[in-house]
Amino acid sequence: MTWKRTEVPLDTLLPGTLRELKFDGSRVVLARVGPLVFAVDGVCTHMGGPLAKGSLSGRRLTCPLHGTVFDVGTGAVLADPLGRAPPSGAVRPVPVYATRVVEGLIEVDLP
């Protein structure tokens, strides 16, 4: 893994908001939950929806296309498009990445 500087100051990512970033063609979504910043892959594992355009409620990130719900801290699927919780659903977890703040800027640990 490699730490990538995002050039996003922590104080500009307000609690309850999402921000999409692109690294070498890959999309990553930053999610601010209270004082914590999480990073997840920006593409829904169900049908490729843009997670940055979804909604964030606490740690619950809902895909705007079909309503799959992910935990931004673990990547776990909380509900599939039919509202089924695992293990009965068929959607894979979304990849998550570690974050840290260095000199006020958010960094993401990417593969």
pLDDT tens readout for residues 43-93: 999 889 999 999 999 999 999 999 999 999 999 999 988 877 776 777 899
Secondary structure tally for the chain: helices H, strands E: 0, 11
**Mean pLDDT confidence for 34-47:** 96
Kindly report the backbone phi and psi dihedral angles of residue 91, in degrees, each rounded to the nearest multiple of 5, phi listed first: -95, 135
Strand order from edge to edge, sheet including 77-79: 55-57, 60-62, 69-71, 77-79
Handedness of CA 32, 28, 20, 105 (dihedral sign): positive
pLDDT at 7: 93
Confidence of residue 1 (pLDDT cuts 50, 70, 90): confident
pLDDT tens profile 50-63: 999 999 999 999 99
Quickly count: other Cβ atoms within 10 Å of residue 64's Cβ: 14
Reply yes or no: is the peptide bond before residue 87 cis, omega within 30 of 0: yes
Q: Average model confidence (pLDDT) for the chain? A: 93
d(CA 21, CA 82) in angstroms, rounded, equals 29
Full set of structural domains in the chain with CATH: 2-110 (2.102.10.10)
